[in-house]
Amino acid sequence: MQIQEIKNERFFKEYKVTIPFHQINEKVEERVAEAAKTFRMPGFREGKVPLSIVRQKVGKEETGRQIQEHVSSSIGELIESKNLNPSSKPNVEIESFDEENGLCIKVSFEVLPELPEIKWEEFEIEKININISDDEIKKTKDVLLREFRKYAKTKDDYAAKMGDKVNIDFHGQVDGKDFDGNSSTDMDLVLGEGYFLEDFEKQLVGCKVGEEKSFELIFPKDYPQEDLASKTAVFKVKVNQIMELEPIQEVDAEMLKKLGLESEARLDELIKQKLNMDSMHAIRTMMKKELFDQIDAKYDFELPNKMVEQDFDIIWKEVEKNKETDENLKNRTEEDLLAEYKKISKRRVKLGLVLADVSRRNQVNVSDEELQNIIEIQANQNPQLKHKILEFYRNSENLEKIRGPILEEKALDVILSKVTIKNKDMTSEEFIDFMKQNK
């Protein structure tokens, strides 16, 4: 194989590769001879068809196959011999194939820049640890064991809250007319269980025994009763009684058996894990942003213009699509938006290159088996959509779309294992306030 350099630019390389004719032809002849052993044709016994005829029948197809195989292997040799780091699949153009000149191909690459060595030990990232209080565990336990709880009568000045059982009379009309299911008397309703529309139940929060209330409610556009969808109803409600859920004083064997657990300690442990899981994604996102901000500030290197332009085009299409409806975009000049989103594209490409470099240096990859396991988990979490999810990912393009984000998260794990982690303890309430302040 001969390699001739045509272009050697900062982020673009082009080569002419020549593979001798005999190298390909010998492989073709081997395959033709192999095929001749079992080749069938009317008028001949199996395996007795003349080689020249077999060559006419299968030679062209086999030549094409051998050209493709040699092109693929020669590109691999080229990348290795020139120590290239392509940013995408190479562009390949077959210029000629004949006995005198062999197979001549032109191969061009967009290549990634050489990144500076990042000293991860110099980074310090804050990690928030949520301290789950006994009160939070108790409240969650009460919800899990709701069917074992009892209701207690409240005082007259008690204001209803979510979780309470209220007894009500109600009457509703749309355009001054009754509709199916528009009224009831002496009906029990547990607020927050979703038996009624959420907006209806919210109107009862804060009400007291004996209170009468009128309010408007708009039925959802996808409401099952099509004649009520998107319609405005006027309801009149009277609260007859409010019962408050009593907290569970003791978790007994019957309750644990219902949950499939051996002890209350194990139940508390699982509740704590669940409450921590609820905040884990937000904490990781914050750590990721802090890390990326530090990388962006501390390290600078030249970026391939083509990669930045491609990323910007993707973002800008979304901006133009949402410009008329998004208040944050509507009142800004195009000049300001262009400047901001070009800056965002440069940052995204820079960080993407850093993560790709970490993956390469640490041999991080996502196997097909890992992808299939993740898809199975996602499908099993949505039983009603399982078939559609599995069908969607049978398309290889859709499958590849999730490989990148998974690889990014695995590279992030590698980085976080090398940086200094500064732990900060917070209660759940403190964390919620912190998130509100840092929106």
Q: What is the CATH number of the domain that holds 81?
A: 3.30.70.1050
Mean pLDDT over 101-108 rounds to 93
Q: Are residues 284 and 373 in the same domain?
A: yes
Q: Contacts for 22-29 with beta carbons within 8 Å, 24 or more apart?
A: 23/70, 23/102, 24/63, 24/66, 24/67, 24/70, 24/97, 24/102, 24/103, 25/99, 27/66, 27/69, 27/70, 28/59, 28/62, 28/63, 28/66
Q: What whole-number distance in Å separates Cα of residue 245 and Cα of residue 247?
A: 6
Residue 126, in any domain of the structure? no
Q: Are residues 95 and 171 in the same domain?
A: no
Number of structural domains in the chain: 3
Give me the domain span that covers residue 415. 261-437
Q: How many CB atoms lie within 10 A of CB 172?
A: 20
User: The domain spanning residue 187 has which CATH number?
Assistant: 3.10.50.40
**DSSP state letter for 87:** S
Residue 371, in any domain of the structure? yes
Choose one of 220, 245, 270: the last residue of a domain.
Answer: 245
If we measure between CA atoms, which residue out of 103, 86, 105 comes closest to residue 13? 86
Of all residues in the chain, the percent with pLDDT exceeding 70 is: 99
Using CA atoms of 253, 256, 261, 262 in order, give the dihedral in degrees to the nearest 10: -20
Q: Are residues 74 and 169 in the same domain?
A: no
Give residue 138's pLDDT.
81
Q: Are residues 219 and 83 in the same domain?
A: no
Give residue 112's pLDDT.
86
Name the strands in the sheet holding 102-110, side by side, starting at the edge strand that comes first in the sequence.
2-8, 12-19, 102-110, 91-98
pLDDT digit string, tens, across residues 322-346: 887 787 787 888 899 999 999 999 9
Query: Are the beta carbons of 166 and 191 closer than 8 angstroms?
Result: yes
Q: Quote the Cα angle for 406-364-416, to 5°.
A: 75
Residue 341, in any domain of the structure? yes
Q: At 232, is the secondary structure helix, strand, or coil?
A: strand
Residue 250, in any domain of the structure? no
pLDDT digit string, tens, across residues 269-310: 888 888 888 788 889 999 999 999 999 999 988 888 888 999
Choose one of 189, 219, 245: the last residue of a domain.
Answer: 245
Q: Are residues 217 and 267 in the same domain?
A: no
Structure tokens given for 429: 């309430």
Residue 332, in any domain of the structure? yes
Mean pLDDT over 236-241 rounds to 95
Structure tokens given for 104: 């001549």
Q: Are residues 221 and 292 in the same domain?
A: no
User: The domain spanning residue 318 has which CATH number?
Assistant: 1.10.3120.10
Give residue 259's pLDDT.
77
Q: Are residues 97 and 170 in the same domain?
A: no
Q: Are residues 274 and 365 in the same domain?
A: yes
If we measure between CA atoms, which residue out of 209, 206, 207 comes closest to residue 240? 209
Residue 54, in any domain of the structure? yes
**DSSP state letter for 111:** B
pLDDT digit string, tens, across residues 81-96: 988 888 878 999 999 9
Q: Are residues 106 and 57 in the same domain?
A: yes
Structure tokens given for 364: 């991080």
Which single residue is written with the structure tokens 């064991």?
Answer: 145
DSSP 130-188: EE--HHHHHHHHHHHTGGG--EEEPPTTPPP-TT-EEEEEEEEEETTB--TT-EEEEEE
Q: Are residues 239 and 267 in the same domain?
A: no
If we measure between CA atoms, which residue out of 199, 207, 183, 187 comes closest to residue 232? 199
Q: Are residues 39 and 6 in the same domain?
A: yes
DSSP lists the bridge partners of residue 425 as: 129
Q: Are residues 428 and 296 in the same domain?
A: yes
Residue 252, in any domain of the structure? no
**DSSP state letter for 86:** B
Q: How many CB atoms lie within 10 A of CB 119?
A: 10
Residue 123, in any domain of the structure? no
Query: Are the beta carbons of 352 and 303 closer than 8 angstroms?
Result: no
Using CA atoms of 420, 421, 423, 429 in order, give the dihedral in degrees to the nearest 10: 140
Helices (H), 299-367: 305-322, 327-330, 334-361
- pLDDT at 429 exceeding the cut of 80: yes
pTM for this model (two decimals): 0.61
Of all residues in the chain, the percent with pLDDT exceeding 90 is: 43
Query: Are the beta carbons of 336 and 295 closer than 8 angstroms?
Result: no
